[in-house]
Amino acid sequence: MKINIYIHTQQLELLDDAGCLLRRYAVSTALKGAGEVSGSFCTPRGRHIIRAKIGAGCPENTVFVRRRPTGEIYTQELAAHFPGRDWILTRILWLSGCEAGFNRHGANDTMRRYIYIHGTPDSEAVGWPGSHGCIRMRNTDLLELFDAVPVGTVVEIIEGCL
């Protein structure tokens, strides 16, 4: 398995071991574009792996803070109590950069930046940039992807066109 994420088209592709397309999903990458520096709120480019899968068995719309379920289930009422919160829902695929000096180590370390593929409220747009650096997905799509990929799956984040 391999995942390609295209910032230009806001799409995530799941490929099998032969490189054949299995699924394509709409995503939302960073509103501020592509970039690797910590604190930039940009989506890091290049080769990554899924370092950890978090949330197996949790109900859809489970709220995560610091990679731990809070016990809350996202609702519009909960959102009204926490305006402006960056909701991390359902599952987390925690990414780790593979390119030393580019997206691994130092101020450019994807994993230390806590860059994830994660769920987002259904009311949030996907298909165009809007995140704080992570890759947001519809919760139902994320559940499918989460179950399909193992830890160690390669994730290539590409800035240009398909």
All domains in the chain, ordered by first residue: 2-158 (2.40.440.10)
Torsions phi, psi for 94 (to 5 deg) = -85, 125
Q: Which one, of 29, 34, 32, 31, lies nearest residue 44 by Cα?
A: 34
The pLDDT of residue 50 is 98
pLDDT tens column, 62-88: 999 999 999 999 999 999 999 989 999
Q: Which residues of the chain have pLDDT under 70?
A: 161-162
Counting Cβ atoms within 10 Å, is residue 44 exposed (0-12), middle (13-18) or buried (19+)? buried
Contact assessment for residue 96 and residue 111, using Cβ atoms and an 8 Å cutoff: yes
Q: Look at strands 89-97 and 2-6 and give their pairing.
A: unpaired
- 8 C-beta neighbours (distance < 10 Å), count: 12
Q: Which residues, 6+ apart, have CB-to-CB distance to 5 below 8 Å? A: 11, 12, 13, 27, 29, 135, 155, 156, 157, 158
pLDDT tens column, 102-120: 999 999 999 999 999 999 9
Two tokens, residue 67: 């990679």
The pLDDT of residue 161 is 64
The pLDDT of residue 84 is 86
